[in-house]
Amino acid sequence: MPADGATCLATRCFCELVRADGITQPANAWSSLAFVVAGAAALLLRPAARPERVLVPLLGVALAAVGLGSFAFHATLTLWGQFVDVFPMYAVGCVLLAGALVRLGWTTPRRAAVGGVALLVALGVLLWLWPESRRVLFAAVLLPGIVRELVRTRRVGGDGRWLHVGLGLLVAAYALWVLDQAGLLCDPTSWLQGHAAWHVLGAVAGWCLARHWASRRLVA
Protein backbone atom coordinates (compact mmCIF):
# COMPACT_ATOMS: atom_id res chain seq x y z
CA MET A 1 0.00 0.00 0.00
CA PRO A 2 1.37 3.49 -0.82
CA ALA A 3 2.43 5.53 2.19
CA ASP A 4 -0.26 8.09 1.46
CA GLY A 5 -2.94 5.54 0.55
CA ALA A 6 -6.15 5.05 2.54
CA THR A 7 -5.93 2.40 5.25
CA CYS A 8 -8.65 0.34 3.57
CA LEU A 9 -6.31 -0.40 0.66
CA ALA A 10 -4.59 -2.95 2.89
CA THR A 11 -7.80 -5.03 2.85
CA ARG A 12 -10.62 -3.77 0.60
CA CYS A 13 -12.17 -0.36 0.08
CA PHE A 14 -15.76 -1.55 -0.22
CA CYS A 15 -17.10 -3.50 -3.18
CA GLU A 16 -16.63 -1.06 -6.05
CA LEU A 17 -13.69 -1.72 -8.34
CA VAL A 18 -10.74 0.62 -7.75
CA ARG A 19 -9.97 2.37 -11.05
CA ALA A 20 -6.38 3.12 -11.97
CA ASP A 21 -7.23 6.34 -13.80
CA GLY A 22 -9.60 9.21 -13.11
CA ILE A 23 -12.05 8.99 -10.21
CA THR A 24 -11.04 5.91 -8.26
CA GLN A 25 -14.57 4.81 -7.28
CA PRO A 26 -17.05 6.80 -9.40
CA ALA A 27 -20.33 5.35 -8.05
CA ASN A 28 -19.28 5.85 -4.44
CA ALA A 29 -17.83 9.28 -5.21
CA TRP A 30 -20.78 10.79 -7.10
CA SER A 31 -23.36 9.34 -4.70
CA SER A 32 -21.58 11.18 -1.88
CA LEU A 33 -22.93 14.45 -3.24
CA ALA A 34 -26.37 13.43 -1.95
CA PHE A 35 -25.12 14.79 1.38
CA VAL A 36 -24.44 18.17 -0.24
CA VAL A 37 -28.02 18.23 -1.54
CA ALA A 38 -29.34 17.24 1.91
CA GLY A 39 -27.24 19.94 3.55
CA ALA A 40 -28.49 22.59 1.13
CA ALA A 41 -32.08 21.46 1.74
CA ALA A 42 -31.53 21.72 5.50
CA LEU A 43 -30.27 25.29 5.10
CA LEU A 44 -33.58 26.18 3.43
CA LEU A 45 -35.56 25.13 6.51
CA ARG A 46 -36.79 27.89 8.82
CA PRO A 47 -37.07 26.61 12.41
CA ALA A 48 -39.64 28.37 14.52
CA ALA A 49 -37.74 28.30 17.81
CA ARG A 50 -34.32 28.61 19.36
CA PRO A 51 -31.82 26.93 19.62
CA GLU A 52 -32.99 25.11 16.49
CA ARG A 53 -32.40 28.27 14.45
CA VAL A 54 -28.70 27.67 15.06
CA LEU A 55 -28.68 23.87 15.19
CA VAL A 56 -30.38 23.28 11.84
CA PRO A 57 -27.95 25.45 9.80
CA LEU A 58 -25.01 23.86 11.63
CA LEU A 59 -26.30 20.43 10.72
CA GLY A 60 -26.81 21.54 7.13
CA VAL A 61 -23.21 22.74 6.85
CA ALA A 62 -21.93 19.53 8.46
CA LEU A 63 -23.94 17.37 6.05
CA ALA A 64 -22.61 19.29 3.05
CA ALA A 65 -19.07 18.86 4.37
CA VAL A 66 -19.66 15.11 4.70
CA GLY A 67 -20.60 14.97 1.02
CA LEU A 68 -17.55 16.90 -0.15
CA GLY A 69 -15.21 14.92 2.09
CA SER A 70 -16.68 11.59 1.02
CA PHE A 71 -16.34 12.57 -2.64
CA ALA A 72 -12.68 13.43 -2.08
CA PHE A 73 -12.08 10.10 -0.38
CA HIS A 74 -13.72 7.87 -2.98
CA ALA A 75 -12.24 9.91 -5.83
CA THR A 76 -8.68 9.44 -4.54
CA LEU A 77 -8.56 6.68 -1.86
CA THR A 78 -5.75 8.61 -0.19
CA LEU A 79 -5.01 9.04 3.49
CA TRP A 80 -5.82 12.76 3.36
CA GLY A 81 -9.06 11.90 1.59
CA GLN A 82 -9.88 9.49 4.37
CA PHE A 83 -9.36 12.23 6.93
CA VAL A 84 -11.59 14.77 5.18
CA ASP A 85 -14.17 12.01 4.72
CA VAL A 86 -14.42 11.02 8.38
CA PHE A 87 -13.85 14.35 10.14
CA PRO A 88 -17.13 15.93 8.93
CA MET A 89 -18.94 12.75 10.03
CA TYR A 90 -17.62 13.44 13.51
CA ALA A 91 -18.94 17.00 13.15
CA VAL A 92 -22.45 15.66 12.44
CA GLY A 93 -22.22 13.49 15.55
CA CYS A 94 -21.05 16.43 17.68
CA VAL A 95 -23.86 18.67 16.40
CA LEU A 96 -26.42 15.94 17.11
CA LEU A 97 -25.07 15.32 20.61
CA ALA A 98 -24.82 19.00 21.51
CA GLY A 99 -28.27 19.69 20.10
CA ALA A 100 -29.87 16.85 22.05
CA LEU A 101 -28.28 18.01 25.31
CA VAL A 102 -29.43 21.59 24.79
CA ARG A 103 -32.95 20.57 23.80
CA LEU A 104 -33.16 18.34 26.88
CA GLY A 105 -32.20 21.33 29.01
CA TRP A 106 -29.12 19.56 30.36
CA THR A 107 -26.74 22.33 29.36
CA THR A 108 -26.65 25.82 27.88
CA PRO A 109 -26.05 26.51 24.19
CA ARG A 110 -22.73 28.21 25.00
CA ARG A 111 -21.44 25.26 27.01
CA ALA A 112 -22.68 22.83 24.38
CA ALA A 113 -20.84 24.77 21.67
CA VAL A 114 -17.57 24.82 23.63
CA GLY A 115 -17.88 21.16 24.52
CA GLY A 116 -18.80 20.19 20.97
CA VAL A 117 -15.82 22.00 19.47
CA ALA A 118 -13.47 20.48 22.06
CA LEU A 119 -14.83 17.00 21.35
CA LEU A 120 -14.50 17.51 17.61
CA VAL A 121 -10.88 18.64 17.94
CA ALA A 122 -10.07 15.63 20.15
CA LEU A 123 -11.69 13.28 17.65
CA GLY A 124 -9.75 14.90 14.83
CA VAL A 125 -6.46 14.36 16.64
CA LEU A 126 -7.34 10.71 17.28
CA LEU A 127 -8.32 10.27 13.65
CA TRP A 128 -4.99 11.67 12.50
CA LEU A 129 -2.92 9.62 14.94
CA TRP A 130 -5.01 6.43 14.88
CA PRO A 131 -7.02 6.28 11.63
CA GLU A 132 -8.04 2.67 12.21
CA SER A 133 -10.26 3.85 15.08
CA ARG A 134 -12.49 5.95 12.79
CA ARG A 135 -15.53 3.67 12.66
CA VAL A 136 -15.61 2.90 16.38
CA LEU A 137 -15.24 6.57 17.28
CA PHE A 138 -17.95 7.60 14.82
CA ALA A 139 -20.41 5.18 16.42
CA ALA A 140 -19.33 6.35 19.88
CA VAL A 141 -20.12 10.00 19.10
CA LEU A 142 -23.25 9.38 17.00
CA LEU A 143 -25.23 6.91 19.12
CA PRO A 144 -25.42 8.99 22.35
CA GLY A 145 -26.92 11.92 20.44
CA ILE A 146 -29.50 9.68 18.78
CA VAL A 147 -30.50 8.09 22.09
CA ARG A 148 -30.81 11.47 23.82
CA GLU A 149 -32.87 12.91 20.98
CA LEU A 150 -35.24 9.92 21.25
CA VAL A 151 -35.48 10.49 25.00
CA ARG A 152 -36.19 14.17 24.49
CA THR A 153 -38.90 13.52 21.90
CA ARG A 154 -40.63 10.96 24.12
CA ARG A 155 -40.38 13.23 27.16
CA VAL A 156 -42.00 16.28 25.58
CA GLY A 157 -44.61 14.26 23.73
CA GLY A 158 -43.94 15.97 20.42
CA ASP A 159 -44.26 14.72 16.87
CA GLY A 160 -41.25 12.45 16.31
CA ARG A 161 -42.19 10.99 12.95
CA TRP A 162 -39.34 12.67 11.04
CA LEU A 163 -36.85 11.39 13.61
CA HIS A 164 -38.24 7.86 13.37
CA VAL A 165 -38.20 7.90 9.57
CA GLY A 166 -34.61 9.10 9.63
CA LEU A 167 -33.57 6.37 12.04
CA GLY A 168 -35.27 3.75 9.89
CA LEU A 169 -33.40 4.97 6.83
CA LEU A 170 -30.14 5.00 8.79
CA VAL A 171 -30.63 1.39 9.87
CA ALA A 172 -31.38 0.34 6.28
CA ALA A 173 -28.35 2.28 5.05
CA TYR A 174 -26.10 0.60 7.61
CA ALA A 175 -27.38 -2.84 6.59
CA LEU A 176 -26.40 -2.08 2.99
CA TRP A 177 -23.03 -0.77 4.17
CA VAL A 178 -22.36 -4.07 5.99
CA LEU A 179 -23.45 -6.21 3.02
CA ASP A 180 -21.25 -4.17 0.68
CA GLN A 181 -18.24 -4.24 2.99
CA ALA A 182 -18.58 -8.01 3.53
CA GLY A 183 -18.84 -8.68 -0.20
CA LEU A 184 -22.27 -10.29 0.18
CA LEU A 185 -23.95 -7.68 -2.03
CA CYS A 186 -21.26 -6.97 -4.55
CA ASP A 187 -20.78 -6.36 -8.26
CA PRO A 188 -17.48 -4.45 -8.49
CA THR A 189 -18.13 -2.94 -11.93
CA SER A 190 -21.76 -1.93 -11.41
CA TRP A 191 -22.97 1.61 -10.76
CA LEU A 192 -25.41 0.11 -8.24
CA GLN A 193 -23.27 -0.14 -5.12
CA GLY A 194 -24.36 -0.86 -1.56
CA HIS A 195 -22.00 1.80 -0.29
CA ALA A 196 -23.47 4.32 -2.73
CA ALA A 197 -26.92 3.46 -1.38
CA TRP A 198 -25.56 4.07 2.13
CA HIS A 199 -24.62 7.57 1.01
CA VAL A 200 -28.03 8.38 -0.44
CA LEU A 201 -30.07 6.91 2.41
CA GLY A 202 -27.75 8.45 5.00
CA ALA A 203 -28.14 11.85 3.38
CA VAL A 204 -31.94 11.60 3.46
CA ALA A 205 -31.73 10.48 7.10
CA GLY A 206 -29.66 13.57 7.90
CA TRP A 207 -32.26 15.80 6.25
CA CYS A 208 -35.00 14.05 8.27
CA LEU A 209 -33.15 14.99 11.45
CA ALA A 210 -32.97 18.61 10.32
CA ARG A 211 -36.68 18.49 9.50
CA HIS A 212 -37.35 17.02 12.94
CA TRP A 213 -35.48 19.86 14.62
CA ALA A 214 -37.26 22.45 12.50
CA SER A 215 -40.73 21.03 13.22
CA ARG A 216 -43.23 23.50 14.71
CA ARG A 217 -45.07 20.63 16.40
CA LEU A 218 -42.40 19.86 18.95
CA VAL A 219 -43.39 20.89 22.44
CA ALA A 220 -40.96 23.38 23.99
Give the distance from CA 108 to its chain's centroid: 24
Q: How many residues are given for the chain? A: 220
Inter-residue contact 62 to 27 (CB < 8 Å): no
Inter-residue contact 91 to 116 (CB < 8 Å): no
pLDDT at 157 over 70: no
Angstrom distance (rounded) from CA 98 to CA 103: 9
pTM of the model: 0.89
Q: What is the pLDDT of residues 158-210, one digit of tens each?
A: 678 899 999 999 999 999 999 998 889 899 999 999 999 999 999 999 999 99
In Å, how far are 61, 74, 138, 183 from 43, measured between CA atoms? 8, 25, 24, 36
Residue 12 main-chain phi, psi, to 5 deg? -160, 135
